Structure formats: structure tokens, C-alpha cells
Amino acid sequence: MDLPVTAALVAAAFAAGVVDAIAGGGGLITLPALLAAGLPPQLALGTNKGQSTFGSFSALVNYWRLGVIDRTRVAASFLFGFVGSLAGAWLVLQVPRDLLRPVVLVLLVLVAVRLTLRRDVAAPTEPLPPGASPQRRAMAIALVIGTYDGFFGPGTGTFLILSYVTWLREAMARASANAKVVNFASNLAALAIFASQGVVRWEVALPMAAAQFLGGAFGARLAVRRGDRFVRWVVLAVVICLVVKIAVDLLRG
């Protein structure tokens, strides 16, 4: 690729890293950019995972340094997210992915409505029920959404954040931080599969990865500095973009 195209992809990767670190959905920026640059769909998907893994890793490291991540759940969340992503990739070979698209669209619309109408979604409002185990809930979330990421993918980071807010009563900024553990695990599993199939264009992925790494660091610090209300509105914007994208895909058949 020539220099102007590479520069545009690097800029897109930085923006995606910022957005992904805060709310998920960075692929809404980078995947269309890679397709517009002329990569075939399979190579675009593989290359996108090649560069986005670095962004999720950077966000994870920076959230960790800022002390926002629940360190007692990291190992289990990573393991279950990684295994779930591998299981989802295997399911792709068994079940048509397009069957999931209408379901995801409905779920995203419900998420958008909840974010718009519920003002208390930005912060925990009540403790977990007696006997509820945060560790077990976190593992279940990691397994289910990790599987979804390996199988389908769009909105993974956003679903993780809303799951932590809903099921673990976490504030938005903390949920965004903890989501990066599963995000990185599922990205790493998917990257391993794509790389083994030779569908990652590393000469494109590596410059984008450097930009994603910087964007992820900036986005993580921005989320912590600006707080829950800021994260909530960024998540809502990402959800609306995902709804539009999936609806357009459905209409196009």
C-alpha cells in the first residue's frame, strides 16, 4: 500500500483504539477502512484482529496501572474469555452466523433504550443479592460473550460493559476497564486462529497496531479522567452506530 493509504489506516487505528478503550466498537472504524483500502473481506478481518489485539492490550495495561481493574477476577476472566472465543470460532463452522444478526440488532436497540432512559445506569444502585458470587458471574459473562466474539463479534466490548453494569453492579468506567481483560483474551484467541490460516497482512497490521496501542492508552486514561457519565454517552454513541450498521447489513441481505 502507498503512503497516503497507510497513513489513513494508521489514523483510523488510533481513533479506533481510543473508542474501543472507552466503549468497545473500534472495529466500526478499522474494518471499513481496511475494506476501503482494497483488502478482501477475509484478509480485512484477519488484519483487523492483528492490529486490534494491540489496542485492547494497551487499554488493559493502562487500566491496570491506574488501579481500576478488579485484579481478583483477571485470571478467571481471561481464561474463560479465551476459551469462549475459541468455542465461538468453532461454532462458526457449525451454524450460519447470519442467524444471529437479527437477535443482536434487537438486543442493541434494547441497550440503547436503556442507556437513554435509565439515568442510574452510569453507577451501581444496589449491592448484589445475598449469596451471589461476583467471581462466578464474571466467569459466566466472560465465557458467554467470549463465545459471541469468536462466533459473530460486533458490539463485544459494549455488551461486556453493560453486562458488568447489570450483573455485577459496576460503575461504567470500572466496567469498561474490566471488560478489557475479556476483550484482550478473545482478540488473542481470534488472532491465533487467523494467523494460523495466514490471513493477517502483517505489513498493514503492524503500523496500525502501533497506533492502536497509543489510542488504547489515551482512551483508557480519558475514560478514568472523565468518569462514568462520559463513558455512558460514548457507549450510547457506539450502540447507535452498531444498530445502524447491522440494520443496513440486514437490508442488504
- Helix (H) and strand (E) counts for the chain? 10, 0
Instruction: Determine the residue type at 202.
Output: W
C-alpha to C-alpha distances, 57 to 21, 60, 209, 247, nearest whole angstrom? 10, 5, 10, 30
At 59-84, the pLDDT tens digits run 999 999 999 999 999 999 999 999 99
At residue 121, the pLDDT reads: 55
At residue 124, the pLDDT reads: 56
Range scoring the smallest mean pLDDT among 10-24, 43-57, 86-100, 171-185: 86-100
Q: What is the DSSP letter of 69?
A: S
- pTM score, whole prediction: 0.88
Task: Provide CB contacts within 8 A for 19, sequence distance 6+.
Answer: 25, 26, 28, 29, 215, 219, 234, 238
Give the 3-state DSSP-derived string for 117-133, with helices as H, strands as E and coil as C.
HCHHHHCCCCCCCCCCC
**146: pLDDT strictly greater than 80:** yes
- Of 227, 187, 175, give the one whose Cα is nearest residue 69: 175
Q: Where do the structural domains in the chain lie, given as residue ranges? A: 3-252
Q: What does the block give as the cell for 147?
A: 463465545
C-alpha to C-alpha distances, 241 to 26, 112, 114, 123, 245, nearest whole angstrom? 11, 10, 16, 23, 6
At 184-216, the pLDDT tens digits run 999 999 899 889 889 899 999 999 999 999 999
At residue 119, the pLDDT reads: 59
Confidence grade of residue 24 (pLDDT, cut at 50, 70, 90): confident
- CA-only gyration radius of the chain, Å: 17
- Of 46, 20, 47, 48, give the one whose Cα is nearest residue 160: 20
At 80-131, the pLDDT tens digits run 999 999 998 888 777 776 777 788 888 888 877 777 766 555 555 567 777 7
Question: Can you tell me the distance from the alpha carbon of 238 to that of 213, in angstroms, rounded to the nearest whole number?
Answer: 20
Confidence grade of residue 151 (pLDDT, cut at 50, 70, 90): confident
- Of 62, 231, 79, give the one whose Cα is nearest residue 141: 79
Question: Can you tell me the distance from the alpha carbon of 235 to that of 253, in angstroms, rounded to the nearest whole number?
Answer: 27
At 3-22, the pLDDT tens digits run 899 999 999 999 999 999 99
